[in-house]
Structure 1
Amino acid sequence: MSYSDNFFTNARGPLHRIQFATSPRPLAGAGDPRHVTDPLLAAGWKDHSVLGYPHVLLESPYGVHLILEPATLSPYDAWWQVHPMDGGWHARFGGNTPVEIVAGFTDALIRPSQAGTADMWNVLTSRQWTPYEDRWEQGMASPDGLARVYQRPEHPSWTAEVARAWESGRRDVYWQAHFGQRTPAYLLLGFVTALSDPAPLCRGKGAGVGSSTQTEARLTGKQLVEAHQERLRAAKAAARRLRRATTTALPPPNAPADTIGAARKHNR
């Protein structure tokens, strides 16, 4: 049995559940982690997980580690962690982060990085996200106000947060993601592209968090399985292209994402 077979036969897999279109996507709930891990394995990442222990450790041929370690359901706990062995950058995602949004980041790891790739601010602007700035931070906010991507002047790293705002000014946080200052720009671009996508996500009934809504999906379980198989084929093809593009070194990243000055430019 291959690593992908369980996706199709597991009792909680898509073939055995009625699918519901869950929106908005940041509130769809975690989803199936194999959406993230199976393509990495198909691309040649090694699995160093310990059998019988709730901990996943994958390693790329270029020395990048992915760790999935369930913790409490606090929105501030990092279930997913991604970083190279030299520690030059890091990314962390809370347990309620939809796997499709995590995969926006991890899928980019198995594709050759593209010089001159689109700026993440332009992607957010094209999807009607708006710039904001206050005394603590500045960044971009989604049209519904649920999601934000921001920096703080004293911390040039990036944070993404999905939360409900109260009239008192308090925010009820559903999940957060954090990215170190030196996180390559093309990886952040993959993340914000997946985060800001307006399309709903397929989930089982009752899977969403917060004020999410569900309607019966047009996609069948069989179609979701076929889409997953296509993801694995695409991952294998991307891995072949990546091997041709590089030898032993980590694919040279684009320059780190623009600092807080980039956000300031959009606020003008």
Structure 2
Amino acid sequence: MPLNERQLAAFADKHAWKIPFDTSPRHLAGPGDARHVTHGLAAAGWSSVSDPLSAEIVLRSPDLRHSLQFDPQSATGAWWRLRAEPSDDGPGWYAEFGELVPAEVLAALTDALMSAPSQPADPWAPVTSAGWHRDSESTARSPDSMCRIEQRQLSEYQDLPSWHIETSEPRGEFSGPRIWHAYLDELTPPHLVAPFLTALADPSPLQRGMYERTAHYRAVQNPSPLRPQQVVDAHTNRISSLRTQARSARRQQTKPATTPANTNPARPAARR
């Protein structure tokens, strides 16, 4: 079912009365509104395949290759699960995200699913540029040391490492209880890993309403210069952009192949 105006109006109604507060750092900002993720996918043509009366939401891409599951009743720490089935375009892969992952950060990854794969960029570059500490070539931690990014190889026989992101309570030199986590397996395309890490390390704040849940009491909140309507407009404009992008991609896929012009036409046979 495509995203309709009634659903966008419901988002607007919820946020119209919320006084926005700039909330940082992002890894402590809290989950925000899950519709940052689900509206973006629906605008790109993903459809719901779950029971409409269930708390669980399952969305599937138009080509049926990708699926996203949101399960707030999950018995594990993973509320979001993103899967890609193997295809001619590449191998299957899996990623999961905990309850308190900021929806805007996850949306940076899901939005990238609608874009053509770009030249692989160094996923560490935006993390380093944002001032995160590089403990080694395969790890980084946020300035407050509460969020850690790590690449791990499951075995010495495995060439590609998986990505592990964990936000934890501070306990001096060691990490305390986990607040939220993200796991992207070793086959997750780099062009999807990069926007997730970029959005996570971005020092600019996320907007949260007054009294809205954050991930930790150390999150810093200040009155935002944005008005509630500006927050709604930013969401609406993003959705409109994703719709346009998805339509363009579909036109490219259905565009008939053109026959190249014959630059060397055959000459008539010479008369004898």
Segment of structure 1 superposing worse, 4-13 or 238-247 = 4-13
Q: Which residue of 2 aligns with 1:126?
A: 129
For residues 10 and 41 of structure 1, what CA distance do their matches in structure 2 show? 14
- SS at 1:110 equivalent: coil
Cα distance, 1:46–1:6 mapped onto 2, change above 3 Å: closer
For residues 32 and 68 of structure 1, what CA distance do their matches in structure 2 show? 13
Q: Any conservation in 1 of the 2:168–2:175 contact (CA below 8 Å)?
A: no
Aligned amino acid, residue 125 of structure 1: T
Q: Which residue of 2 aligns with 1:148?
A: 148
Paired positions, count: 241
Q: Which residue of 2 aligns with 1:64?
A: 66
Q: Any conservation in 2 of the 1:8–1:15 contact (CA below 8 Å)?
A: no
- SS at 2:62 equivalent: coil
Cα offset for 1:246?
4.3
Q: Any conservation in 2 of the 1:14–1:224 contact (CA below 8 Å)?
A: yes
Cα offset for 1:3?
3.8
Cα offset for 1:216?
1.5
Q: Which residue of 1 aligns with 2:17?
A: 16
For residues 4 and 98 of structure 1, what CA distance do their matches in structure 2 show? 24
Cα distance, 1:27–1:8 mapped onto 2, change above 3 Å: farther
- SS at 1:195 equivalent: helix
Aligned amino acid, residue 98 of structure 2: G
**Root mean square deviation of aligned Cα:** 2.3
* 2:223 aligned with 1:232: no
* 2:95 aligned with 1:88: no
| TM-score in terms of structure 2 length | 0.81
| TM-score in terms of structure 1 length | 0.82
For residues 218 and 184 of structure 1, what CA distance do their matches in structure 2 show? 36
* 2:175 aligned with 1:173: no
Residues 79-228 of structure 1: matches in 2 within 5 Å?
79-86=79-86, 88-114=92-118, 116-133=119-136, 138-154=138-154, 156-167=161-172, 169-206=174-211, 207-210=213-216, 211-228=218-235
For residues 6 and 223 of structure 2, what CA distance do their matches in structure 1 show? 26
- SS at 2:231 equivalent: helix
* 2:30 aligned with 1:26: no
Cα offset for 1:107?
0.6
Q: Any conservation in 2 of the 1:68–1:79 contact (CA below 8 Å)?
A: yes
For residues 51 and 5 of structure 2, what CA distance do their matches in structure 1 show? 18
**Bigger Rg over Cα:** 2
Q: Any conservation in 2 of the 1:78–1:92 contact (CA below 8 Å)?
A: yes
Q: Which residue of 2 aligns with 1:261?
A: none
CA displacement 1:71-117 (0-9 Å, x = unmatched): 36x9x611111111347101101010010011011010011111x24
Cα offset for 1:10?
5.6
For residues 235 and 11 of structure 2, what CA distance do their matches in structure 1 show? 14
Q: Any conservation in 2 of the 1:105–1:191 contact (CA below 8 Å)?
A: yes
For residues 124 and 232 of structure 1, what CA distance do their matches in structure 2 show? 27
